[in-house]
């Protein structure tokens, strides 16, 4: 029986899986996910797709905010850029999705670079405010560039297609979303085992010492913004392909706040944390809706109370997590794992 | 010319309310280092409480206003005690997120109690306009600007001459020194939050009174005050006042002259474009304390 951590080489210290068992469990879990469309209802497939997309975007936000320490309130704006880029590339230019999705990501990364430039001089609170400004600038652009974005009425997006293959409904696009999710998570997890990822973490922990140790702070900050916006742009593209119509109403500032909530509740600076946070915050309104519907069956007035109820619960969850578990669900998960590792002889 | 004057005048009116709410931001930031993203929700809540007391409980307006102020002061203290006190020493992102969470809760509570429909606000100001030079000006504008000016003077005197005000400035300067001089920093934090809650509520009531109606959109005003405090400098009370007026005028000029060209929305986005420019040129604002640090 394992009764502690025995890491005797650097390779073992860097390993993602401590033993073979979690690797097999993960593989089994992925096979399970692949078989979901065979029996799930359309409603739950839609929810699952939205959860996966949220995980991609939350991972992107976590790269810039959790790992590099640059607070961003621009997530909604970057999602919008990715979504509208998809609408233009797939709708107007009629390109297939293997071209559209990376291009949408790259366009968003370019926009992210532009808004990352203030991070040269700003950090903390001031950077958060600068990204807030970026949000409003993007929002203004998408509502007023009518020829490209359809203005306030929004714009419809064709189904993701490649030759004769057309991913028109939730059941079909599920596999695309899942494949991208797995690929991007794999990349993100490994990014933080490389020089670049470690430079990000060094900047977060102490930017001046990072500079002293030879990390080009400005270049790596911009790179963090670019990688993060690429993730969020891909998420925006998938969102557009899945919803088939996007309008400025899909990207209000509250979306950015939701994503910040996800990475904080999940765990800053943890890939697993982005997954937990995204699942939790996306499922929360769905579960609340179920609860609200069952209450509304007996007390019809509850119907109108759903929106405020959702807002109150979200706010309370965020505040309670920050007060009682500032390290997020990922840290709690680690505690649980550590407890069971030596059960029943833990002390 | 008359159009320009009208725009500037409107700008001064909104700008003065910006200044008042910005004062709340600055008081909290100066003493506790927190940027309160729930300021707009404080405004909205204050205005709704006042409206409910005046209309549903038929209190005379002055009494309703007084009760609102007491209520908001208590709410400010409770917020500090229950939400912000446990966050002392946490990283800045937690501080930002906790006020965002607070704003979601307050928004939800207001919506749950009062709904989302636009409600008429009682006419607290006489309706007929007065002639000011070439321009007819509604009395609401005058009273609102005058009361803001009065409040700003009161607060400036408070910070300069009273014991509590001086203690607050000492705390802002250095918490350790303040503690060693026998000042209760916790009490100062609570005072800062209740001042901020009260001034935002007054701002909310004035704004609803000037507009004649009240709905949840009032809370957006809180986010629009952020460019104001950045322009003035986050830790400068004078900066908040100047920044409010400048931003109010600028916003109305953009609304008057740029909106017809781009088809609306310039009024909302102009402060944020200015914000980005200020941040790249002068990150600590016009009057803020410059922290020299190379990154």
Residue A135: inside a domain: yes
Interface contacts A/B by beta carbons within 8 Å? 143
Question: Which residues form the domain of B214?
Answer: 2-113+194-281
Q: A325: exposed, middle or buried (C-beta count within 10 Å: 0-12, 13-18, 19+)?
A: middle
> Which of the two residues, A264 and A168, has the higher pLDDT score?
A264
Q: Which of B166, B232, B175, B199 is nearest to B75 (CA)?
A: B199
Given an 8 Å threshold on Cβ–Cβ distance, is A140 in contact with B94?
Answer: no
What is the average pLDDT across A156-166? 81
CB B109, CB B193: distance < 8 Å? no
Of B25, B48, B79, B93, which to mutate for an interface test with A (greatest number of A Cβ within 10 Å)? B93
Cα(A129)–Cα(A113) distance, integer angstroms: 16
> Considering the domain boundaries, does residue B13 fall inside one?
yes
Whether B187 contacts B85, CB under 8 Å: no
What is the distance between the alpha carbons of residues A125 and B80, in angstroms, rounded to a whole number?
A: 19
The beta-carbon neighbor of A144 closest among B94, B263, B273 is: B263
B87, pLDDT greater than 80:
yes
Contact yes or no for A264 and B94 at CB 8 A: yes
The answer to whether position A28 is within a domain reads no
Residue B108 lies in a domain: yes
> Is the confidence at residue A121, as pLDDT, over 80?
no
Q: Which residue does chain B place closest to A69, by CA atoms? A: B93
Q: Residue A307: its chain B contacts at CB < 8 A?
A: 108, 111, 116
Asked if residue B137 is part of any domain, the answer here is no
Q: Tell me if B92 and A315 make a contact (CB, 8 A cut-off).
A: no
- Mean pLDDT for the stretch of residues A293-303: 78
How many angstroms away from the CA of B254 is the closest CA of chain A? Answer: 14
What tokens does B28 get?
Answer: 């909290």
For helices A195-205 and A217-243, the axis angle rounded to 10 degrees is: 110
Residues of B in contact with A206 (CB under 8 A): none
Number of compact structural domains in chain B? 1
The CATH number of residue A125's host domain is: 1.10.3470
Q: Please, which residues have CB within 8 angstroms of residue A301's CB and are 6 or more apart in sequence?
A: none
Query: Can you give the pLDDT at residue B128?
Result: 74
CB B197 within 8 A of CB B75: yes
**Among the ranges given (A50-64, A322-336, B29-43, B115-129), the one the predictor scored with the smallest mean pLDDT:** B115-129
Residue A177 covered by a domain: yes
CA B214 to chain CA centroid, nearest Å: 16
**Are the C-beta atoms of residues B199 and B148 closer than 8 Å to each other?**
no
Do the domain assignments include residue B125? no
Q: Does A23 map to a domain?
A: no
Phi-psi region of A254 (alpha: psi -120 to 50; beta: other; left: phi over 0): alpha
pLDDT over 80 at B125, yes or no: no
In a domain? residue A143:
yes
Whole-number Å distance between alpha carbons of A127 and B294:
15
Residue A97's domain comprises: 36-341
Query: In terms of Cα–Cα distance, which of B269, B211, B220, B200 is closest to B14?
Result: B211
Which of A137, A308, A314, A327 should be substituted to probe chain B, the one whose Cβ sees the most B Cβ atoms within 10 Å?
A308
Tally of structural domains, chain A = 1
The predicted model gives A21-39 an average pLDDT of: 88
First to last CA, chain B: 47
Query: Is the model's pLDDT at B227 over the cut of 80?
Result: yes
Structural domain includes residue B128? no
Q: Is residue A170 part of a domain?
A: yes
So what's the ipTM on this one? 0.84
């Amino acid at each position: 029986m394992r009764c502690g951590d025995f890491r005797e080489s650097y390779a073992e210290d860097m390993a993602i899986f401590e033993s073979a068992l979690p690797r097999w469990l993960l593989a089994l879990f992925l096979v399970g996910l692949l078989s979901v469309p065979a029996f799930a209802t359309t409603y739950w497939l839609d929810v699952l797709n939205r959860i996966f997309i949220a995980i991609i975007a939350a991972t992107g936000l976590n790269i810039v905010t959790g790992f590099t320490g640059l607070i961003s309130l621009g997530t909604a704006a970057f999602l919008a850029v990715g979504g509208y880029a998809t609408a233009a590339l797939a709708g107007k230019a009629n390109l297939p999705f293997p071209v559209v999705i990376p291009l949408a990501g790259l366009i968003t990364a370019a926009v992210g670079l532009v808004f990352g430039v203030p991070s040269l001089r700003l950090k903390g609170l001031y950077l958060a405010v600068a990204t807030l400004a970026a949000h409003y600038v993007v929002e203004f652009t998408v509502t007023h560039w009518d020829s490209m974005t359809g203005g306030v009425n929004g714009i419809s997006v064709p189904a993701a297609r490649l030759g004769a293959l057309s991913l028109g409904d939730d059941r079909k696009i599920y596999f695309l979303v899942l494949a991208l999710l797995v690929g991007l998570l794999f990349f993100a997890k490994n990014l933080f085992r490389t020089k670049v990822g470690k430079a990000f973490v060094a900047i977060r922990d102490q930017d001046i010492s990072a500079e002293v140790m030879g990390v080009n702070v400005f270049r790596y900050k911009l790179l963090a913004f670019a990688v993060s916006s690429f993730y969020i742009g891909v998420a925006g593209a998938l969102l557009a392909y899945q919803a088939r119509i996007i309008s400025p109403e899909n990207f209000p500032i509250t979306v950015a706040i939701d994503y910040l909530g996800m990475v904080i509740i999940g765990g800053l600076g943890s890939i697993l944390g982005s997954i937990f946070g995204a699942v939790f915050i996306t499922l929360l309104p769905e579960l609340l809706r179920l609860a609200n519907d069952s209450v509304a069956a007996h007390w019809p007035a509850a119907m109108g109370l759903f929106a405020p109820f959702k807002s109150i619960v979200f706010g309370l969850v965020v505040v309670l997590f920050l007060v009682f578990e500032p390290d997020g669900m990922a840290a709690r998960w680690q505690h649980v794992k550590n407890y069971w590792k030596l059960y029943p002889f833990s002390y | 010319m008359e159009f320009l004057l009208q725009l500037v005048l409107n700008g001064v009116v909104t700008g003065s309310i910006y200044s008042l709410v910005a004062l709340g931001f600055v008081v909290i930031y100066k003493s506790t280092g927190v940027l309160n993203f729930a300021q707009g929700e404080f405004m909205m809540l204050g205005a709704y409480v006042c409206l409910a007391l005046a209309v549903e409980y038929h209190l005379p307006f002055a009494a309703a206003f007084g009760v609102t102020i007491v209520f908001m002061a208590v709410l400010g203290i409770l917020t500090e005690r229950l939400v912000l006190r446990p966050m002392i020493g946490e990283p800045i992102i937690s501080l930002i997120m906790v006020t965002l969470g607070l704003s979601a809760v307050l928004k939800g509570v207001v919506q749950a109690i009062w709904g989302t429909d636009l409600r008429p606000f009682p006419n607290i100001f006489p309706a007929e306009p007065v002639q000011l030079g070439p321009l007819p000006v509604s009395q609401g504008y005058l009273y609102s600007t005058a009361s803001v000016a009065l409040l700003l003077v009161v607060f400036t005197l408070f910070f300069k001459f009273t014991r509590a005000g001086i203690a607050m400035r000492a705390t802002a300067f250095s918490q350790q020194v303040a503690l060693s001089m026998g000042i209760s920093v916790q009490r100062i934090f609570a005072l800062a939050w209740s001042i901020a809650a009260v001034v935002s509520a007054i701002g909310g009531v004035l704004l609803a009174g000037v507009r004649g109606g009240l709905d949840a959109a009032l809370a957006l005003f809180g986010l629009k005050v952020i460019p104001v405090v950045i322009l003035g400098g986050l830790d400068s009370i004078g900066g908040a006042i100047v920044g409010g007026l400048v931003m109010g005028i600028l916003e109305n000029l953009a609304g008057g002259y740029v909106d017809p060209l781009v088809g609306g929305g310039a009024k909302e986005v102009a402060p944020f474009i200015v914000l980005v420019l200020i941040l790249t040129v002068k990150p600590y604002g016009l009057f803020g304390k410059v922290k020299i640090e190379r990154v």
